[in-house]
């Protein structure tokens, strides 16, 4: 009988991966599984520690009800195995002999210390592709450093650009660094699969979360090389290189916040004119605002100084306060003004666009006897669907099927292994 | 031995970030990537600063030039009546087409998937846009900055007593670039295995939300919406960014256990305040986090940020300097990863470019950043003659008639 987690349809069908990662690598296997890889999450007996990361179902800490775990382990199968025991290590090695991919996120040197490093696995399977996800990489001065989302974001250079100018830099309010690493690892693994297809050999991939995130700083490193100045953090404001003013980009509205940037010239002309027309209709534009010539309005013009911008935007800010996020979005669409909400989960959940695209997928969770709604496929493909098929595995959920089908273990042997705490 | 993707033909009708940067990755592995542009409507990255030596020009934008290395530049005015003949040659030549314009644009040019498929049935056709290629808001205009707000990142970033702080730049671009690289490679591998092409539709909204998936589940299941919390974290205390010696220098510190806290107290020289009973347990530190942060700041502010990091790391505590953009050029670990590479550019000379593959390191594949980003149309003649099999006469004629502008 075919397990629901397996699929014949994905772009990466036919490949198999063993996933030893914790929260610093889980997304990698999830992405591989989304495109059809048979990903087996290997947990230590009793279940991985990352099952204890919140948020939780009904807010109660329960390793079988972590919404974090659910999110990044869907589409995977799950087995338990103690790879620190000799017998467990042997079982892992015999599994790896028939797999294409191993993903791990242990501290640098750990896999070698238990005899499961790339060289050891290569000896039994020269085609194996092993990806190691760590905060900083396998070599270099920080290789032995501990890294968490906060400290990796700090060292990547991205965080220095985020936050209010009069307070410390802030990270994005939900851990991101290792999701970048996991996604990049997935791309690297497929690169290595293609290499194997050509040259017949697997390889080791060393993934650094810090170096996976650093380009997010976008133009800021270029600003440094050009001007010798570091781009300051601006809170909810926006500063554009070469202008002499600071302008807000986050505005309060009746039920939340919206994002609006006052662009100049060709990009902004039409939108700015449309916005002022709307304000005029509502008697909310004074003469100063009504007489600005948007065709020639140039944020880089020396006359456009802080006082000018404050006068301009304070009226606009007052206007936005009268409307809801949805009103501003819809009227903005109609008038070709970009007025987009700072989405909250409720806004996103109610998005007509996502609904019409069939983005949400409900997966039935037997452990809670209910369905849970998930963000679905990260990409739409015409031939080979990318979709969510099955919820994250419970601890050891697929022990029986994996150990008997792949390794030919008998039922009694599996029971014995469980009794000895190996699986 | 040649590079992995030598011979892979990749044509880019794309601009800004999520369209072109996957092509930069493939080009670093040897793919022949042709960047189609027009001086009449240049990539916005070409018209935003900073410029080399402050001279405003489409070929001098440093950010554009950091991000499009190893590609060939090809100019084509898609509004010219003869452009479609050249475009047809390009799409029949290509194994992969990448486009990131507002949906409808490629259709206007007769280059939408169904049209291209007739010329090149097994092409891998990669589209990316804000909202995806279908749905009521498919043509929504905007940039990564807007999308970062829409997909939920901005609202949860910053301080609870303040307006949201905007994550810098076009944050969701850098999520979707990685997702795009992954799915493009999967499609290339699939084509290698089966001979079949693919239509890829990457909605940057949908890709972005994946990186907040647990918060969406929390909403659906618990009706809870995460708010802003500065740098606090439910599983750590202390967990914050602390001032260090000098102007605007900071060090991030994350302590996850009571043992680590004890170690940290030792590193700080066991000050009296830290030995107070209320800070002894995790729950106590959580309940008194403001005072905890003040105490720690009193220690860090007398030290250099790197000093704080190194002392704490030596004691097994996660700490990291808040690197500024300038620091990313000298950070020893990013240097070790080869985060930036120096390349010679036709107009602006030698400059530093992103090494797009710095995050990953292979034991048997060596991505290269060798050639600079192209000037607009820098290689039009070369591409026409060498890849599209056109004669010098044909190329000259098209140029004279203004097709390559």
> Residue B337 to residues A139, A160, A209, B305, B313: CA-CA distances in angstroms?
9, 20, 11, 22, 20
Q: Give the count of beta carbons closer than 10 Å to the beta carbon of residue A96.
A: 21
What sign for the dihedral angle of Cα B385, B389, B392, B397? negative
pLDDT > 50? residue B69: yes
Other CB atoms closer than 10 Å to residue A352's CB: what's the count? 10
Which residues in chain A have Cβ-Cβ distances shorter than 8 Å to B52? 226
Distance CA A135, CA A214 (A): 12
Just list the catalytic residues of B.
173
Inter-chain contact A181–B359, Cβ cutoff 8 Å? Answer: yes
pLDDT per residue as tens digits for the range B316-343: 999 999 999 999 999 999 999 999 999 9
b/e sequence B365-383, b meaning 16+ C-beta within 10 Å: bebebebbbbbbbbbbbeb
**Which among B49, B224, B230 has CB closest to A241?**
B49
Q: Report, in angstroms and rounded to the nearest whole number, the Rg of chain A calculated over CA atoms.
A: 26
**Nearest alpha-carbon partner for B259 in B282, B278, B289:** B282
- Residue B225, chain A, CB below 8 Å: the answer is yes
Helix (H, G, I), strand (E, B) or coil at B61: strand
CA distance B322 to B309: 10
Residues across chain A: 423
Contact with chain A for residue B356, Cβ under 8 A: yes
- Can you tell me the mean pLDDT for B202-214? 98
User: B217 in contact with A at a CB cutoff of 8 Å?
Assistant: yes
pLDDT for res B143: 84
Say which residues have a Cβ less than 8 Å from residue B192's Cβ, sequence separation at least 6.
A194, A197
B73–chain A Cβ distance below 8 A for any pair? no
Taking Cα atoms as reference points, which of B349, B133, B289, B219 lies closest to residue A59?
B219
Residue-wise pLDDT tens digits, B152-192? 999 999 999 999 999 999 999 999 999 999 999 999 999 99
If one counts every other C-beta atom within 10 angstroms of the C-beta of residue A16, the result is 18
Picking from B7, B56, B53, B3, the residue whose alpha carbon sits closest to that of residue B33 is B7
Helix H segments across A204-324?
209-213, 220-227, 265-281, 287-290, 306-320
Q: Which residue of chain A comes nearest to B184, CA vs CA?
A: A187
What percentage of chain B has pLDDT greater than the value 90? 96
Question: Mean pLDDT for each consecutive 10-residue tract of chain A (423 residues)?
Answer: 56 97 98 97 96 95 96 98 97 97 98 98 98 98 98 98 97 98 98 97 98 96 94 88 86 96 84 95 95 90 91 96 96 93 97 97 94 97 89 96 95 94 92
Distance from CA of B360 to the nearest CA of A (A): 4
Residues of A in contact with B40 (CB under 8 A): none
Q: What is the CA radius of gyration of chain B?
A: 25
The pTM assigned to this predicted structure is: 0.97
Confidence band, pLDDT 50/70/90 cuts, at residue B145: confident
The encoded tokens of residue A423 equal 């699986």
Cα separation, B202 vs A114, whole angstroms: 40
pLDDT score for A6: 53
Q: What is chain B's mean pLDDT, rounded? A: 96
The residue assigned the tokens 């059809």 is: A36
ipTM score for this prediction: 0.98
Mutate to test the interface with A, among B185, B205, B357 (most CBs of A within 10 A): B185
* Distance (Å) from the alpha carbon of A419 to chain B's nearest alpha carbon: 31
> What 8-state DSSP symbol labels residue B233?
B
A142 interaction partners in chain B (CB closer than 8 Å): 332-333
B272 in contact with chain A, both atoms CB, cutoff 8 A: no
Amino acid A4: pLDDT: 44
pLDDT at position B1 is 59
Pick the residue of B241, B246, B301, B317 with the most A CBs within 10 A to test the interface with A by mutation.
B241
Is the peptide bond between B238 and the residue preceding it cis, with omega within 30 degrees of 0? yes
Q: From the CA of A414, how many Å to the nearest CA of chain B? A: 34
Give the closest-approach CA distance of A343 to chain B in angstroms: 4
Positive or negative: CA dihedral A381, A383, A384, A385:
positive
Query: For residues A3 and A14, what is the distance between their CA atoms, to the nearest angstrom?
Result: 14
Residue of A nearest to B45 (CA): A219
B307: Cα separation from own chain's centroid: 30
CA A342 to chain centre: 18
Residues 6+ apart with CB under 8 A from B127: B99, B100, B103, B106, B113, B133, B199, B200, B201, B202
């Amino acid at each position: 009988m075919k397990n629901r987690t397996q699929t014949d349809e994905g772009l990466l069908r036919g490949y198999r991966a063993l996933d030893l990662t914790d929260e610093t690598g889980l997304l990698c296997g999830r992405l591989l599984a989304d495109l059809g890889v048979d990903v087996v999450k290997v947990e230590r007996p009793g279940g991985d520690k990352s099952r204890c990361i919140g948020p939780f179902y009904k807010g109660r800490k329960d390793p079988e009800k972590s919404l974090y775990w659910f999110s990044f382990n869907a589409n995977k199968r799950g087995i338990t195995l103690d790879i620190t025991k000799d017998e467990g290590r042997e079982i892992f090695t015999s599994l790896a002999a028939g797999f294409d991919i191993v993903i791990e996120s242990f501290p640098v040197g750990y896999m070698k210390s238990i005899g499961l490093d790339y060289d050891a696995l290569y000896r039994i399977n020269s085609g194996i592709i092993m990806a190691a996800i760590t905060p900083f990489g396998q070599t270099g001065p920080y290789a032995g450093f501990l890294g968490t989302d906060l400290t990796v974001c700090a060292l990547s250079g991205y965080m220095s650009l985020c936050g209010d100018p009069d307070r410390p830099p802030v990270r994005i309010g939900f851990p991101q660094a290792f999701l970048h690493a996991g996604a990049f690892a997935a791309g690297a693994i497929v690169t290595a699969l293609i290499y194997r297809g050509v040259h017949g050999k697997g390889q080791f991939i060393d993934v650094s979360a810090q170096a996976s995130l650093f380009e997010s700083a976008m133009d800021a490193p270029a600003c440094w090389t050009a001007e010798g100045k570091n781009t300051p953090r601006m809170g909810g404001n926006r500063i554009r290189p070469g202008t002499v003013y600071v302008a807000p980009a986050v505005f309060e509205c009746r039920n939340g916040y919206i994002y609006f940037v006052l662009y100049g010239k060709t990009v902004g002309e039409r939108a700015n004119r449309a916005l002022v027309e709307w304000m005029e209709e509502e008697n909310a534009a004074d003469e100063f605002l009504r007489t600005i010539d948007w065709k020639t309005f140039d944020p880089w013009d020396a006359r456009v100084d802080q006082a000018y911008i404050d006068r301009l935007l304070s009226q606009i800010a007052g206007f936005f306060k009268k409307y809801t996020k949805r009103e501003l979005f819809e009227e903005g669409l109609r008038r070709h003004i970009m007025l987009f909400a700072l989405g909250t989960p409720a806004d996103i959940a109610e998005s007509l666009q996502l609904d019409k695209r069939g983005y949400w997928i409900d997966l039935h969770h037997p452990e809670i006897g209910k369905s849970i709604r998930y963000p679905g496929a990260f990409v739409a493909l015409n031939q080979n669907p990318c979709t969510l098929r099955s919820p994250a595995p419970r601890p050891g959920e697929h022990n029986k099927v994996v150990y008997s089908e792949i390794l030919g273990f008998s039922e009694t042997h599996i029971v014995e292994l469980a009794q000895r705490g190996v699986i | 031995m040649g590079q992995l993707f030598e011979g892979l033909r990749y044509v880019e009708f794309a601009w800004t970030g999520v369209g072109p940067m996957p092509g930069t990755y493939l080009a670093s592995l040897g793919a022949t990537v042709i960047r189609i542009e027009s001086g009449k409507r240049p990539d916005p990255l070409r018209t935003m600063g900073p410029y080399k030596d402050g001279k405003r020009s489409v070929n001098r934008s440093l950010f554009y030039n950091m991000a499009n290395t190893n590609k060939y530049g090809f100019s084509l005015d898609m509004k010219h009546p003869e452009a479609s003949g050249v475009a047809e040659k390009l799409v029949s030549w290509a194994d992969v087409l990448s486009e990131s314009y507002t949906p409808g644009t490629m259709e206007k040019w007769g280059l939408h998937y169904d049209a291209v498929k007739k010329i090149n049935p097994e092409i891998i056709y990669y589209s990316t846009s804000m909202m995806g290629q279908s749905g009521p808001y498919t043509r929504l205009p905007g940039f990564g900055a807007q999308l970062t707000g829409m997909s939920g990142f901005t609202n949860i970033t910053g301080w609870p007593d303040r307006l949201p702080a905007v994550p810098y730049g076009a944050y969701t671009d850098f999520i979707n670039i990685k997702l795009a690289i992954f799915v493009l490679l999967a499609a290339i591998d699939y084509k290698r295995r089966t001979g079949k092409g693919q239509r890829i539709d990457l909605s940057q909204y949908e890709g972005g939300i994946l990186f907040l998936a647990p918060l969406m589940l929390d909403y659906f299941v618990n009706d809870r919406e995460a708010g802003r919390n500065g740098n606090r974290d439910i599983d750590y205390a202390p967990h914050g960014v602390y001032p260090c010696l000098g102007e605007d220098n900071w060090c991030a510190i994350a302590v996850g256990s009571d043992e680590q806290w004890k170690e940290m107290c030792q590193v700080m020289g066991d000050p009296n305040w830290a030995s107070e009973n209320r800070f002894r347990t995790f729950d106590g530190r959580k309940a008194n986090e403001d005072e905890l942060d003040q105490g720690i700041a009193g220690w860090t502010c007398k030290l250099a940020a790197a000093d704080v990091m190194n002392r704490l790391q030596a004691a097994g505590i996660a700490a990291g300097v808040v690197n500024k953009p300038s620091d990313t050029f000298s950070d020893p670990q990013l240097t070790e990863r080869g985060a930036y590479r120096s390349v010679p550019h036709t107009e602006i000379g030698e400059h530093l470019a992103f090494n797009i593959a710095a995050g990953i390191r292979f034991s048997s594949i060596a991505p290269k950043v060798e050639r600079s980003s192209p000037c607009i149309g820098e290689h039009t003649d070369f591409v026409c003659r060498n890849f599209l099999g056109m004669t010098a006469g044909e190329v000259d004629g098209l140029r004279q008639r203004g097709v390559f502008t």
